[in-house]
Chains A and B, each alone.
Chain A
Amino acid sequence: MGRVPQLVNTTALANHQDPQDMSLSRDAGFWTFIAADASLFALLFFQFSLDRSSQPVVFDEGQRVLVVLLGTVNTLVLVSSSWLMASAVRNMRRDSVRTGLRLIAGTAALGVVFAAVKISEYVLALRSGHTVSTSPFFMYYFVITGIHLGHLMIGVIVVVVVGWRLRVGIRRPLDRTVLECGAVYWHLVDLLWMFIFPMLYLAR
Chain B
Amino acid sequence: MTKNESQLARLCAWAVAVYFIPFGIGWGLLGRMIPPYPASMPAAELAQIYRDNASTLRIGFALAAFATTFFFMWSIGLFRIMIHTDRGGKILPYTVLVGGVLTGADLMFSIFFWLTAAFRPEQDPALIQLLYDLGWLWLDLAFGVAMLYMIAFGVIALKDSRERPLFPKWLAWLGIWLSMEFLLELIMPYFRSGPFSWAGLFNFWVPFFPPAIWMVTVSVYMYKAAGRLNEEYESDLAQGLEQTTTG
Contacts and interface: CB of A to CB of B under 8 A. Distances in A.
A143 interface: yes
Contacts, number: 59
Interface residues of B, number: 26
A132 B187 contact: yes
Given A15-B165, A17-B163, A29 B196 contact: no
A133 B183 CA distance: 18
B173 A133 contact: no
B173 A32 contact: yes
Contacts of A133: 190-191
B186 to A, nearest CB: 10
A32 B217 CA distance: 15
B196 A40 contact: no
Contacts of A147: 184
Given A47-B201, A132-B190, A139-B191, A28 B196 contact: no
B199 to A, nearest CB: 14
A62 to B, nearest CB: 15
Given A133-B190, A139-B191, A32 B170 contact: yes
User: Which interface residue of A15, A17, A33, A133 has the most chain B CB atoms within 10 A?
Assistant: A33
Given A32-B174, A33-B174, A143 B196 contact: yes
Interface residues of A, number: 25
A12 to B, nearest CB: 14
B8 interface: no
Q: Is the interface of A mostly helix, strand, loop or mixed?
A: helix
A203 interface: no
Contacts of A27: 169
A30 to B, nearest CB: 6
B134 to A, nearest CB: 21
B195 A15 contact: no
Interface of A: 14-15, 17, 27-33, 36-37, 40, 43-44, 47, 51, 132-133, 136, 139, 143, 146-147, 150
8 contacts: A15-B164, A27-B169, A30-B169, A33-B177, A36-B173, A36-B174, A43-B202, A51-B195
Given A15-B169, A36-B173, A147-B184, 11 more contacts: A15-B164, A32-B169, A32-B173, A32-B174, A33-B173, A36-B174, A43-B202, A51-B194, A133-B191, A136-B194, A139-B191
Interface of B: 158, 163-165, 168-174, 176-178, 181, 183-184, 187, 190-191, 194-196, 201-202, 206
